Amino acid sequence: MRGLSRAETMIDQSREGATGDYRRVRELSEALCRPLATEDYVVQTVAETSPPKWHLAHVSWFFETFLLVPFLPGYRSFHPRFDYLFNSYYDQLTSGYWPRPKRGLLARPTVEEVYAYRRHVDAGMVRLIADCPDRDWPAVGAWLRIGLNHEQQHQELLLTDVKHNFAVNPLRPAYRADLPQAPMAEPDRLTFIPCEGGVAEIGAAGEGFTYDNERPRHQVYLEPFGLADRLVTNGEYMEFVQDGGYGHPGLWLSDGWQTSRREGWRAPLYWEQVDGVWHQMALGGLRPLNPAEPLTHVSYYEADAFATWAGRRLPTEAEWECSAAELPVAGNLVESDRLHPRPATPGCGLRQVYGDVWEWTRSAYLPYPGYRSPEGALGEYNGKFMCGQMVLRGGSCATARDHVRASYRNFFYPHERWQFMGLRLAEDAA
């Protein structure tokens, strides 16, 4: 959940340009919430998700804590306890934080108060951007870039959290009933693109914005491999389901098999049968399952089991990045306004590299050689999570186009499924 934006050149822009970047990102968060009723803002269905109201307040807390309090003289915090309610996990801050699993228990502050909080923070940020001394602008601009990318991350989380909230509801309500649906179709032929391997470089390069976990750039050695030209589809995964894939322990990692048994998994999250026909919950409501659409909402364990069943494997993050490095950032991203994976379009070479679903890799989320976590609370943003999680690449249908790149490293625990998570197959060269 990390990214790039027009903010990548913000330090070199005028103050007016920075203000425009700030307003653009902030307005999108609120636009994403317009389809919600007041009752929707407080719901939290599992510990991993957060209520929409909390997302809106937390991103404002970030700007207030890391920019307004230290850099805007005379700034007065909106509420003395918001630093406790809306801190996410920054243990180095003295405020502490309200437990994540209990965010949905907070009826107050009201939705109206949260929006008032946003207005208060926005007014302060506009003043700060316009009036901060030149000596402070490099630091302010750098923190502003982080804050905007951070809010873009929460825009994606907000959508996936709302989807989980609505999927739990027996009414299966639609977040937006106007979202388009792709025509029902069968998957096209899957082929593998060969890569000769050898010494390559991965990691962030250049002057644009990157997160610390993408650095430093370093060399890797790749054995020859092949990478599937498109994502795995619902239709292909249905074959795994119908072949009893969830009942064959030999296909699964040990932890995955135990998790699958404990959780009662028999299909991806949001798949369900209605009158004997498979359907899938989407942000547009409950829909018949489209075999040609990319598979989504599977855990790392399920992705790995499917790859084993298919006689292939998941790619490493280095294989994925080297394959994607020269491709433009384009695809079914949030700007497409579909908010759901769509079938691959015909073409040659790698397809669906960006957007649609985050692609599980077989790489553990670990620091790159020479990595040093930033000092202070910012060091808690990525570094402290480098244990027990797996890397995903490529963005999803809920990711902003200016918030993803080849070096971007997303990471989740291997059992998690509520994000738009899918897979692309890889194979060793014969």
Q: What is the pLDDT of residues 144-195, one digit of tens each?
A: 999 999 999 999 999 999 999 999 999 999 999 999 999 999 999 999 999 9
At residue 378 the predicted structure's pLDDT band, cuts being 50, 70 and 90, is low
pLDDT band at 379 (very low <50, low <70, confident <90, very high): low
In this prediction, residue 385 carries a pLDDT of 84
Cβ atoms of 381 and 415 within 8 Å: the answer is no
- For residues 336 and 397, the answer to whether their CB atoms sit within 8 Å is yes
pLDDT at 380: 58
- Residue 12: per-residue pLDDT: 39
Rounded Cα distance between 222 and 356, Å, is 26
Confidence of residue 117 (pLDDT cuts 50, 70, 90): very high
How many Cβ atoms sit within 10 Å of the Cβ of residue 391? 25
On the question of pLDDT at 11 being above 80, the answer is no
Which residues, in sequence order, are bridge partners of residue 272? 279
221 HSE (CA, 13 A, CB side): 1
**236-267 pLDDT per residue, tens:** 999 999 999 999 999 999 999 999 999 999 99
pLDDT at 3 over 70: no
2 pLDDT higher than 50: no
Confidence label for 123 from pLDDT (cuts 50, 70 and 90):
very high
Looking at residue 8, what is its pLDDT? 37
pLDDT given at position 208: 81
pLDDT over 70, % of the chain: 95
Give 200's strand partners: 220
pLDDT tens-digit map of 212-237: 999 999 999 999 999 999 999 999 99
Token pair of 63, please? 């700007």
Mean pLDDT of 5-26: 68
Percent of the chain whose predicted confidence (pLDDT) is above 90:
88
Residue 392: what pLDDT? 98
pLDDT of residue 377: 66
Among residues 143, 178, 380, 357, which one has the least CA distance to residue 270? 357
Average pLDDT over every residue of 326-339: 97
Task: Label residue 9 by pLDDT band (50, 70, 90).
Answer: very low
Mean pLDDT of the chain: 93
Considering only 35-39, 101-105, 203-207, 382-386, which range has the smallest mean pLDDT? Answer: 382-386
Split at pLDDT 50, 70, 90, the class of 383 is confident
- Going by CATH, does the domain composed of 192-428 fall within 3.90.1580.10? yes
pLDDT of 96: 85
pLDDT at 71 exceeding the cut of 60: yes
CB-based contacts of 179, cutoff 8 Å, min separation 6:
282, 283, 284, 337, 338, 339, 340
CA angle 373, 355, 224 (to 5 degrees): 75
Buried b (16+ CB within 10 A) or exposed e, 261-285: eeeebebbbbbeeeeeebbbbbbbb
Other Cβ atoms less than 10 A from the Cβ of 385: the count is: 15
pLDDT-based confidence at residue 14 (cuts at 50, 70, 90): low
User: Residue 261: which residues within 8 A CB-CB, separation 6 or more?
Assistant: none
Q: Where are the domains of the chain?
A: 6-168, 192-428
Higher pLDDT, 430 or 148: 148
pLDDT of residue 184: 95
